[in-house]
Structure 1
Amino acid sequence: MEYTGYKFKKINKDVWEIDDIKGNSMYLIEGNNKSLLIDTGMMPKNITPMIKKLTKKILN
């Protein structure tokens, strides 16, 4: 998946590492029913649409 200014790396079946072009990292962790985004980066762009492409679970 491409989203301008971000790189995605699937660490394992439940964890994504998301790096922005400023060198900041975020982590998306998928649980059984919900997903958790740790950090939101430093980019001015709304990242919610990008995250919703990675997971269909409720985002906390």
Structure 2
Amino acid sequence: MDLGGDVDELWGRSSRQVPPPLKPGDTVSLTVEAIGSLVTRVAPGTEPVPLPKARRRGRERP
């Protein structure tokens, strides 16, 4: 499927995630004319690292 641009831009315009996000096991292929094709399978990622909450800062600036 050729989306012709960024998927997040497409999702932003339609307010829906169509096509759906990639998930582990999906296959992605890239073909460049006169060079060849690259095919890869999406692997599971790692769990996100928890980040501490930011400190609240007063409105006054030095």
Q: TM-score, normalised by structure 1?
A: 0.30
Q: Select the structure that is richer in strand.
A: 1
Q: TM-score, normalised by structure 2?
A: 0.29
